[in-house]
Amino acid sequence: MSDEEMRTKWIEWITIIHNNIEELLTSQHIYKTYLEIVKNNPEIQSPRDFHDWVRKNYASAVAIHIRRELDIGSDVVSLKRLLTQIQKNPQIITKGSRACIKAVTQRILQAATSRT
């Protein structure tokens, strides 16, 4: 694979990773909103069975998202795999592509901080 093809692949991967992180942040926002609703409405706080189920599902979803981003299988797109490939092929990152990657990274960080 040429450097340009690899760079193009990485940019596509960054978009996929960004979407995965957006999905996780959306789940986090929904869960925090749910907790506030329950906290502000004592009459719905009991029984706890449903709330415990929601908490467990949220925790499972977070664990799945984290595991997905740490997967290094040859058939997956993940943050760890992307970073490993960049580490092995640093010559592919040019000033122009660094600017593109930096812009995408800043978008991800802005999305993360705007939802907390």
Question: Mind listing the pLDDT tens digit for each residue in 16-30?
Answer: 999 999 999 999 999
Q: Which of 22, 32, 7, 13 is nearest to 107 (CA)?
A: 22
46 assigned to some structural domain: no
Domain count across the chain: 1
Region 57-85: mean pLDDT is 95
Q: Are 4 and 96 in contact (CB under 8 A)?
A: no
DSSP 46: -
Is 95's pLDDT higher than 90? no
Q: Which domain holds residue 103?
A: 3-38+51-114
Res 62: pLDDT: 96
Q: How far is CA 71 from CA 1, 17, 22, 54, in A?
A: 22, 12, 18, 26
3 state SS of 106: helix
25 assigned to some structural domain: yes
